[in-house]
Amino acid sequence: MGSEERYDIVIVGGGIVGLATALALHRKGVQSLVLEKSDSLRSAGSGIGVFINGWRALDQLGVSTQLQMKSIPISEVHDGLINRSRIRVTPCRNEALRCLKRSDLVEAIANGLPAKAKSVRFGCQVVAVGRDPLTSFPVVHLDDGTNIKAKVLIGCDGSNSVVAKSLGLEAPRLFQMNAVRGLTNYPNGHIYGNTGFRLIGDQLIFGRIPIDDKLVFWFVAWRDHSTDSEVEKIPENIRDLSLELLKEFPTKVIEMVKDCDLDSLSFTHIRHRAPWNFLLQNLYRGTMTVAGDAMHVMGPFLAQGGSSGLEDAIVLGRCLSRELQLGSKNEIDDDEFKKRSEVALKSYVKERRLRVLRLSIQSYIVGSIVATSSWGKRFLCIVILVTFFGGMSLSHTRYNCGPL
């Protein structure tokens, strides 16, 4: 029989969103424990584009200034089709777009937590979630046999979330696209200035965005024709596969991939949560909920998965601290804690449901335009995008999740 521990608030997953949720709570004077299955901070995915909505959330977490010093502002994004000379230029000064190294982002958030060793427990894999028969609070079961009773449980455990499963949420679907992400360092400086770039080929999209004057983040996403699973695990093979996919692309693109930092490469099967899940399924039950990819994994086509997860963290921090700190400073008993947490999670889900529904649909439509080989489907997606989402407008990035 394993040991048993008790905590008020437990967060499963120490990725961007789990750490951000812990920091949001900490800044409001509410303690939590993060359980992370890796042995140290993870930064898989190498780079991440952050728009103004994400910066607003990072501002609330008190880490935006230090992160802005590690990245350059992007003034415009150029979009084109392969073998066509026409380029569409989208200015984005108002959207405050910058690209960060993921390691810088997770470290900045983690460093804001009190005594990291106490607030984040590494090497802790949650294998199942149950319920205490007496109190009906959640109980998490770890792979080493430990049971942790939590008055509030927040699943920030990514697209394959154990917490989402125990809420009864349907598993996310494969989008039938894969993505490779990487970094290329130019020791003498790159030539791309402050410009992002996306080039669409046949069922394939390549993008690059500078992080600073020397470092560039790039990705390639393509329609899945069932890649050999061994390719995914070996960096040299991931690079060679990317070069093969991009062989018709301009020389500068090919050189960028050839010269990449092999350690930065990652291969992902793109997943998304079906939109009706947001309308028909429970995003919280009792004192248990989900945030980030665990709630709303979406394709990378709007570059909003991470930023919308940071918004979740702020809203969760605000809702939980408001309810738990209501009225007197005296400790509240378990029944009262439960009642207040349920109210908090209900208002969190109410606030987030339509926001993430809209982003998920928009991301799905943009992804389908790239992925489909049917001109009819592509045309229909473009009509929906223009009619309901203002085409390629960046208006979704102007969302403000509000103060903590």
Ligand X SMILES: Cc1cc2nc3c(=O)[nH]c(=O)nc-3n(C[C@H](O)[C@H](O)[C@H](O)COP(=O)(O)OP(=O)(O)OC[C@H]3O[C@@H](n4cnc5c(N)ncnc54)[C@H](O)[C@@H]3O)c2cc1C
Could you list the residues that contact ligand X (CB under 6 A)? 12-18, 35-38, 42, 45, 48-49, 124-126, 156-158, 162, 179, 181, 219, 268, 270, 292-294, 300, 303-307, 309
* Alpha carbon separation from 250 to 102, 190, 247 (Å, rounded): 27, 16, 8
Query: Closest distance between ligand X and the C-beta of residue 312, in Å?
Result: 8
Query: Closest distance between ligand X and the C-beta of residue 219, in Å?
Result: 5
Query: Closest distance between ligand X and the C-beta of residue 372, in Å?
Result: 19
Of 77 and 126, which CB lies nearer to ligand X in the complex structure?
A: 126
Query: Closest distance between ligand X and the C-beta of residue 213, in Å?
Result: 20
Residues 196, 122: Cα–Cα separation, whole Å: 35
Query: Closest distance between ligand X and the C-beta of residue 330, in Å?
Result: 34
Supply 285's token pair. Answer: 């039950």
Of 308 and 321, which CB lies nearer to ligand X in the complex structure?
A: 308
Of 73 and 339, which CB lies nearer to ligand X in the complex structure?
A: 73
Of 18 and 317, which CB lies nearer to ligand X in the complex structure?
A: 18
Query: Closest distance between ligand X and the C-beta of residue 24, in Å?
Result: 13
Of 253 and 303, which CB lies nearer to ligand X in the complex structure?
A: 303
Query: Closest distance between ligand X and the C-beta of residue 164, in Å?
Result: 10
Of 16 and 257, which CB lies nearer to ligand X in the complex structure?
A: 16
Query: Closest distance between ligand X and the C-beta of residue 40, in Å?
Result: 10
Q: What is the 3-state secondary structure (H, E, C) of the chain?
A: CCCEEEEEEEEECCCHHHHHHHHHHHHCCCCCEEEECCCCCCCCCCEEEECHHHHHHHHHCCCHHHHHCCCCECCEEEEEECCCCCEEEEECCCCCCEEEEHHHHHHHHHHCCCCHHHHEEECCCEEEEEECCCCCCEEEEECCCCEEEEEEEEECCCCCCHHHHHHCCCCCEEEEEEEEEEEEECCCCCCCCCEEEEEEECCEEEEEEECCCCEEEEEEEEECCCCCCCHHHCHHHHHHHHHHHCCCCCHHHHHHHHCCCHHHCEEEEEEECCHHHHHHCCCEECCEEECCHHHHCCCHHHCCHHHHHHHHHHHHHHHHHHHHCCCCCCCCCHHHHHHHHHHHHHHHHHHHHHHHHHHHHHHHHHHHHHHCCCHHHHHHHHHHHHHHHCCCCCHHHHCCCCCC
Of 325 and 358, which CB lies nearer to ligand X in the complex structure?
A: 358
Of 9 and 48, which CB lies nearer to ligand X in the complex structure?
A: 48
